[in-house]
């Protein structure tokens, strides 16, 4: 049984049908690769817009990560570093990236992650469709 990964957000029925015809594992492989490539502009934008901070670790530790969500789900996240990677003490209740993104009562919000996604959303969708087509074409030979 095929996984049937849905790509309805792309509004391309022909592409959906082509993707549905291949086995589930191949669908997932094509989608993961396509999403990793399509989300690169979001990653770049997030790094550019993130504040340098006192150590510069926040900018350096922003990464793309595949999201695991079962057999029929493929996702991608733009994530900041862990507490340990950012040098935040284990007993601290504060998480610097969250306070930058959402703000606090002492600091105005700087939504660098949300803005990176918003400003690149259209480009991500176009590149995602392009990369899926490329993956299907490569598979077809």
How many CA atoms lie less than 13 Å away from 15 in the CB half-sphere? 20
Q: Tell me: the pLDDT tens digits for 18-63?
A: 888 888 888 888 989 999 999 999 999 999 999 987 788 889 999 9
6 pLDDT tier (thresholds 50, 70, 90): low
- Report the distance separating Cα 126 and Cα 79, nearest Å: 22
Domain segments of the chain: what residues? 8-140
| Rounded mean pLDDT, 93-118 | 90
- Report the distance separating Cα 123 and Cα 129, nearest Å: 10
- Report the distance separating Cα 133 and Cα 138, nearest Å: 9
- Report the distance separating Cα 108 and Cα 87, nearest Å: 23
Backbone angles phi, psi at 110, to 5 degrees: -130, 80
Q: In terms of pLDDT, which residue wins out, 63 or 86?
A: 63
Backbone angles phi, psi at 86, to 5 degrees: -90, -5
| Rounded mean pLDDT, 101-112 | 93
| Rounded mean pLDDT, 2-16 | 66
- Enumerate residues 6+ apart whose C-beta is below 8 A from 89: 83
């Amino acid at each position: 049984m095929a996984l049937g990964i849905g790509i309805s957000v792309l509004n391309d029925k022909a592409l959906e049908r082509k993707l549905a015809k291949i086995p589930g594992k191949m669908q997932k492989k094509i989608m993961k690769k396509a999403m990793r490539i399509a989300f690169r502009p979001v990653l770049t934008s997030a790094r550019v817009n993130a504040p340098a901070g006192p150590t510069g670790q926040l900018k350096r530790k922003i990464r793309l990560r595949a999201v695991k969500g079962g057999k029929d789900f493929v996702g991608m996240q733009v994530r900041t570093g862990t507490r340990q990677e950012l040098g935040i003490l284990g007993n601290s209740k504060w998480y610097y990236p969250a306070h930058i993104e959402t703000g606090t009562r002492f600091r105005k919000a700087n939504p660098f992650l949300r803005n990176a996604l918003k400003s690149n959303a259209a480009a991500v969708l176009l590149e995602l469709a392009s990369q899926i087509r490329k993956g299907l074409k490569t598979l077809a030979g």
